[in-house]
Structure formats: structure tokens, C-alpha cells
Structure 1
């Protein structure tokens, strides 16, 4: 799948620029092969390659597809993590279908996104999300929110229409069943999952989020890494929302 925004009109479109170069010289697509183009906002062109040049390809449009955005958005606030664990989390969260990923500077986050270093780290997260969206053939690509701290998350958790869940290994209640059977009456606009760093959230952070209205829930009997906890939680919630029943 290749990214084109906006999607062009017409029965034959030319894929140029970095995407065209990738299709022609890296993927080595040839006439007759299928290729999909998307704007990442729910629309796609199902095409067939009809001509290939050095850095571009011509695609005959066979079908236009549009998928509506989900009624309830799933947002994951992912704590900054050491090494490539943050990028691994972004990759998997994108693949399973999360609608927004929010970088979260928790109290115990060892990594800090300061200055130019932070800008580069954010670019890596954005690039990882884009590549994962293409690989997984997503039509709705996830948004990458701004870096937030605990006060920002607490305000979002307290927003009407938001159901916030803080993941914590010592919570009494499981996340399984937390959103199952919620009425689809428009009262809930988004579900916000909050994932702590390697050392976990502090007691103070958990308490502040609880006071803001966030539920505190555990995933299961084992303690997961920060790079996988959000993915498992998101998978459970997406299944319970019925989001895995159709295209995304």
C-alpha cells in the first residue's frame, strides 16, 4: 500500500516522488500487478499497474473504496521507553488499529524528549507509524499526538465523553469486559488507555488519574513490558468494541 494525499481523480493515476520511486525501484512492481493507494483518512484506490518508469508508475483505477471513521476512537498514551521499545509499541499499536498514539513523559521515564533529540525521536515514531500503517493496509492511519505529561492526561481523562483506563499490574479489576456492552448512543467519544514506563507509574500518578475519573485495571496474571502492555490492552478493547469485524 502506498500513501497519496489527496487521492487524485481520473481512471489512471501516476505515483511519483518517494512513493513512486519505492514502487518502481524497491518493490519492482510490474504491469499487471495489483497496487493500493490510500490517503490515510479512510479512502483508497484499488489499482492495477499499467506502466513502470524509473521513478514512477501508472496505475489504472479498478475501484474506489471509502471506510467511515469509527464511532468510538481508541487512544493509547504510551510512556517514553528506552531503546527501540517505544518504536516497537508504536508499530504494533498501529498494526492492531489504534486511532491515536500519544507520547507520555511519565515520572519514571528514563528517556526525555528534549530539544533536537526529542524532535528526532518524534520523527522516528511518526515514520514507524506510517510504515506500519502501509504494511497492515490500514485505510485510517493513526494520529500522533503531542508529547504530554501527567496533568495533560488527567485533563483528557476528565473530559466528558472520554473513558480513561490506567493500566496497572496491581489493580483489582481486569480490563477484560470493561467496555463490553457499552451502549452505542454517542455518549462515549473515545477510550483512553494509559501505559506506564518500564518502572511503572508512581502511586501519585495512579492516584491523580483515578481522581480525574480514570479506571485502574490490570491485564492479567503476568507483568508485561511497556512495549507490549498497550498492544494487548488495545486488542482486548478493539475486540470488545467490535472493531475487528471489518476493514479499518
Structure 2
């Protein structure tokens, strides 16, 4: 499969045009992926534009791609959203990477009550880190749409998202399995809420349920915060016919 890259200039490029990759993207193409002139690559803008062409010039400072074809990929509907609680170590980052590879459309960092990790005073740096992970994972997965990483929310902020989406809280004690829901019948966005290492607190479950969220479970075991979202997204992809 051809290597895939992202460039804002891909948005307006047409067959016969040259698209230039520069900065970190050119360095990655030339020095990390070992791209060579003449190789076929794909380039996107992360917003549905998909170009295919051949590299005509390759250096660590600049890579030039001559566009052969252009297509536009529609955004998937309904939108799949991962609400990922902040977690210690790199567990939340692993969750974000896997979710991007599995087709999530939007990611919302959640400062849950039991989150060991706190973004207080370092939210900008942490958010930039998540967005970098998403960008690289989207390129690896050859995705036409780059998932949005939203600003972090607390539980009160999470409840305010309810009117626009169907929110499903992954909770091992729930009686309703995720596999029993008809997700394809809902045209709203579907938000999958994953708690931190200690789980979603009773107060949070109560607040989210009062606001309209539905507790659901995945099987009979308890998954880590780094894997629960990926498992739920896999179920949703099948239910929505994406897979």
C-alpha cells in the first residue's frame, strides 16, 4: 500500500498540480519512511480530500508530489465519539491511538473524578500531544478524515453534550450489553464514554444517567481504560456497517 501523508494544500489541488510537503512531514517522508522519487503516494487534507500521485522530488526539507487523481470522501455518519477519561502513564494515549486507527470521528478528553492523571496547568501541552498521536495514527491507518480532539471537559461539561448525541457509558455493572443496541437506527452522534482506572464513580453515573446517558457493558470481564474504547468502537463499526 502506498505511503500516506497530510498537507493543508491538498484541499485545493487538482490532477496535474504539485503538492509540496515540508517541515516535519517532509523529514518523516524522506528520512523515516525512506520515500524515493517515482514512488506512488497518497496525500490528504484530513477533511475528505484524497489525492494519489507520484513523488517527483524528495529531500528532508521538501517533498513534491505530482497529483494524478483526486477524490472526495464523505464524512461518516453518524459520528462516532470517544469520551476518554484521563489515565496514568500512557494508557489514555494508547486508547487515543487505537481509537483513531479504528475509525473514531471525534475524541473528547474527560477529567473524571477518579482520574489519577490531571491536566491542571498543562492542558495545552497534553492536548497537543493527543492531537499529534491522532495525526500520526490517522496517517498510518490511511484515513481521509482526521479525527477532532476537543478541549477537555469535566463531568458537568460532559452532561451538556447530551442533547446532540446518544451517550453510552461503558460500565461493567450495567445490565444492557452494547451488542444489544440498534446503533444503526440513530442518526445522532454516538458517544462512547470510557472511565479511568478506578472506573466511573457512582456520582458520575448518576449525573450522566439523569442527563440521558445509557450505561452499557462489554461482555462479562472488566477491560482496561486503554482497551475498552477500542473494543466498543469495534462493536459500533460492525453495528453501523462500517466493517
- Compute the displacement of 1:33 (Å): 1.0
Q: CA RMSD in A?
A: 1.5
In structure 2, relative to structure 1, the CA distance for the partners of 1:181 and 1:24 (3 Å cut) is: closer
Confirm whether residue 134 of structure 1 aligns to residue 139 of structure 2.
yes
Match of 1:218 in 2: 217
**Cα distance in 1 for residues equivalent to 2:221 and 2:33:** 41
Deviation digits for residues 132-164 of structure 1, max 9, x if unmatched?
01111111110001110111111212x0x4211
| 28-37 vs 96-105, which moves further | 28-37
Name the residue aligned to 2:181: 178
Give the alignment partner of residue 115 of structure 2, picking from 74, 93, 109. Answer: 109
Q: What do residues 184-223 of structure 1 show as CA deviations (whole Å, max 9, x unaligned)?
A: xxxx320111111100011111111111111110001110
Q: Following the alignment from structure 1 to structure 2, what is the Cα–Cα distance between the partners of residues 125 and 52? A: 29
Work out which of the residue numbers 89, 93, 105 in structure 2 matches 1:87.
93
**CA 1:162/1:55 → structure 2, altered by over 3 Å: closer, same or farther?**
same
Decide whether the 8 Å contact of 1:210 with 1:216 is kept in 2: yes
- Contact 2:81–2:105 (Cα < 8 Å) also in 1: yes
**Residue 16 (structure 1) aligned with residue 22 (structure 2):** yes
Question: In structure 1, what is the equivalent of residue 201 of structure 2?
Answer: 202
TM-score (norm 2): 0.92
- For the 8 Å contact 1:25–1:55, the answer to whether it is kept is no
State the distance in 2 between where 1:51 and 1:146 align.
38
Alpha-carbon distance change, 6 to 52 in structure 1, aligned in 2, over 3 angstroms: closer
Distance in 1 (CA, whole Å) between partners of 2:137 and 2:209 is 33
Picking from 137, 145, 148, the partner of 2:150 is 145
User: Which whole-Å CA distance do the structure 2 matches of 1:181 and 1:139 have between them?
Assistant: 22
Structure 1 residue 180, shift from structure 2 partner: 4.0
Once residues 184 and 58 of structure 2 are traced to their aligned partners in structure 1, the CA distance between those partners, rounded to angstroms, is: 50
Select between 215-224 and 24-33 the one with higher mean Cα deviation: 24-33
* Counterpart residue number, 1:34: 40
TM-score, with length taken from structure 1: 0.91
Inter-CA distance 193–53: structure 2 relative to 1 (3 Å threshold): closer
Alignment partner for residue 169 of structure 1, among 160, 172, 176? 172
Bigger shift: residues 167-176 or 232-241: 232-241
Gaps of 5+ in 2: none
Is the counterpart of residue 98 in structure 1 residue 104 in structure 2?
A: yes
Assess if the C-alpha contact under 8 Å between 2:42 and 2:52 holds in 1: yes
Query: What stretches of structure 1 of length at least 5 have no aligned partner?
Result: none
Distance between the aligned counterparts of 1:195 and 1:128, measured in 2? Answer: 18
Contact 1:179 1:237 in 2 (8 A): no
The alignment of Structure 1 onto Structure 2 pairs a total of residues equal to 237
**CA–CA separation in structure 1 for the residues paired with 2:59 and 2:216:** 54
